[in-house]
Amino acid sequence: MMMSSMPFQLVMRAGPQPGSVFPLQKSEIYIGRDPSNDLVISDAEVSRKHARLIWQAGGYILEDLGSTNGTFVNGQRLLGPHGLRPGEVIQLGENVSLVYEALYDPNATRLSAAAAYPPPGTPAPSQSAPPPPLDQPLYSMPAYPLREEVPPTLETEKKSPPLWIFAGCGCLLIILCLLVGLIAFDTLNLYCVGPFRLLSPVYQILTGGTCP
């Protein structure tokens, strides 16, 4: 029985005729390798009477007819009748796969295209202007306080004088003390008095002086 209001088809994705399109125009369609089937697929993996499509409630029901290699929908093997949905992939054995598709409906497309465009005279939705940018400050103070610079003259004054100045002053003082002692030693003839008398011979040799 031919049905002109069945907007479905099968497209062969893999098999003996890839890309072939098979319109579904009967309420009962047999698929298999035997020439007596409505949809003949010449492949060794396909049984003579492999599967059947039955029109029911606005769509097709797929049923396996006890095939040797099985009938699959989206990779799942059929264990009973299955209501097909557009886009599902039917696999017969391992070599043949068919895509179940809905045919093009020009009336539905025309209505959707008319709804996409507003009728003439309808004002287009206005787009709000972006808010003006906020005025940015020309300069912002840093979060941390600035370090006060100390004048170099003050830092120099705070530094203590070097140690060599103290050492030089000490040496000069010792030398002055020795000179004063030697002058007093010679003027007072201390080398001839008391314990210093032991140094008298050395002093006489160095200076040529004698005790009075």
- Pairwise pLDDT comparison (169 vs 136), residue with the higher score: 169
- Provide CB contacts within 8 A for 86, sequence distance 6+: 8, 100, 101, 102
Q: pLDDT tens-digit profile of 71-117?
A: 999 999 999 999 999 999 999 999 999 999 988 654 444 444 444 44
pTM over 0.75? The answer is: no
160 pLDDT above the threshold of 90 = no
Q: What pLDDT score was predicted for residue 111? A: 40
Please identify, in words, the CATH class of the domain defined by 8-102: mainly beta
> For residue 7, which amino acid is it?
P
- Provide CB contacts within 8 A for 88, sequence distance 6+: 73, 74, 99, 100
Q: What pLDDT score was predicted for residue 174? A: 87
161 pLDDT above the threshold of 90 = no
SS3 193: coil
